[in-house]
Structures are given as C-alpha cells and as structure tokens.
Amino acid sequence: MELTTSNLISLAAMVAAIIGSAAIAKYKINGLLERVEVLFKSKTELDNRLDSIEQSNGLFKHRLDIVSSILSPEKLEKDTRELATLRSEIEHLKKVVVKANKT
C-alpha cells in the first residue's frame, strides 16, 4: 500500500474527526455527570424527607393507637362499671360516716 498525499490527507481528516468526536463526547459526558450529581443530591434530599415523613407517620400511628385503645367501647364500658362501683362505695361510706357521727 502506497502512502500518497491524498491518503495522508484522508487519514489526517479521519484522525481530526475522531479527536473532534472524542472532545464532543467528553463535553457531553461531563454535562451528563453534572446532571447525575444534581439528581443524586435531589434523590438524597427526597430520601431524607421521606424518612422524616415515615417517622412522623409512625409517631402519629402510635398516638392514634393509644387514643383508640383509650376510647374503645370495651374500655369505656369497663371504666363506666368501675366508676359506678366506686360511686356506690362512696355512698355507702357516707352513710357509714353519718351513722358513726350520730352515735
């Protein structure tokens, strides 16, 4: 194969095109890396916000469970019966005290 001037010019043009393509590709890759970095920071912020929301949600669920157990019909019925028992015992004790004071 002979190296003629036209072959050398073609070879130089191909090398220049490859170098130019590589420079463009490097520029675009750097731009993509910057965008990926921004997206990663956004993702990290969203992860932190999601963790905070999940923690708050867990706390609210726990509080709601406590309130629900306090206000459950079974608990209210039990408390009402205990209160009625205590009131009757207080009335009985008042009568005992009144009798004791009379004698």
Look at residue 62 and tell me whether its pLDDT is greater than 70.
yes
Look at residue 3 and tell me whether its pLDDT is greater than 80.
no
The answer as to whether 62 is a domain residue is yes
pLDDT on residue 70 = 87
36 and 30 in contact (C-beta within 8 Å)? no
The answer as to whether 21 is a domain residue is no
Q: Which domain holds residue 77?
A: 73-103
The answer as to whether 27 is a domain residue is no
Torsion of CA 12, 15, 21, 25, to 10 degrees: -150
- All residues at 6 or more sequence positions from 19 whose CB lies less than 8 Å from its CB, including other chains: none
Give yes or no: residues 49 and 67 share one domain: yes
Global pTM exceeds 0.75: no
Give yes or no: residues 62 and 46 share one domain: yes
The answer as to whether 45 is a domain residue is yes
How far apart are alpha carbons 69 and 89 in whole angstroms? 27
Give yes or no: residues 67 and 77 share one domain: no
What is the per-residue pLDDT across 7-41, written as a single tens digit (0 to 9) for each? 889 999 999 999 999 999 999 999 999 999 999 99
Give yes or no: residues 65 and 84 share one domain: no
The answer as to whether 20 is a domain residue is no
Site of tokens 């965008």: 35
Report residue 69 as tokens: 């157990």
Question: Which pLDDT band, with edges at 50, 70 and 90, does 1 fall under?
Answer: low
Q: How many domains in the chain?
A: 2
